[in-house]
């Protein structure tokens, strides 16, 4: 949950009126290495928008994205994930926008 002081400091984080994280924009943050299905990111049950564009994960795309049941926007373009896209990502019922582009 977000506190009021935290909200003033972080432009990449959006919370709703109840303090739940609803949007994360971690694009172009030079994130290296991967994360697995047990990462705390997947416990953000109210998350609606997630942008991980232009990072350097160099790992497979975790199937844990399917735990984000309120997700409507997901952008993984140029995040340097490797391997196949887990089918679970496309089973998120409210997911309207998905940006996943293969490296060339």
Q: Does pTM surpass 0.75?
A: yes
Residue 97 has pLDDT above 80, yes or no: no
- CATH code, domain with 36: 3.80.10.10
What are the pLDDT digits (tens) for 10-22?
A: 788 999 989 899 9
Residue 102 has pLDDT above 60, yes or no: no
Instruction: Out of 5-14, 33-42, 60-69, 85-94, give the one with best mean pLDDT.
Output: 60-69
Please, which residues have CB within 8 angstroms of residue 84's CB and are 6 or more apart in sequence?
Answer: 60, 61
Range of the domain at 55: 4-99
Query: 62 in a domain, yes or no?
Result: yes
Query: 87 in a domain, yes or no?
Result: yes
| Mean pLDDT of the region 41-64 | 94
The total number of structural domains in the chain stands at: 1
Q: What is the rounded CA–CA span in Å between residue 95 and residue 70?
A: 8
Pure H helices in the chain? 4-9
Query: 104 in a domain, yes or no?
Result: no
């Amino acid at each position: 949950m977000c506190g009021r002081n935290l909200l003033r400091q972080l432009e990449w984080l959006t919370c709703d009126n109840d303090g739940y994280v609803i949007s994360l924009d971690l694009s172009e943050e030079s994130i290296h290495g991967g994360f697995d299905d047990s990462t705390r990111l997947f416990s953000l049950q109210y998350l609606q928008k997630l942008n991980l564009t232009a990072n350097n994960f160099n790992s497979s795309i975790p199937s844990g994205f399917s735990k984000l049941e309120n997700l409507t926007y997901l952008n993984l373009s140029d995040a340097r994930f490797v391997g196949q896209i887990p089918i679970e990502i496309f089973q998120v019922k409210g997911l309207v926008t998905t940006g996943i582009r293969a490296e060339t």
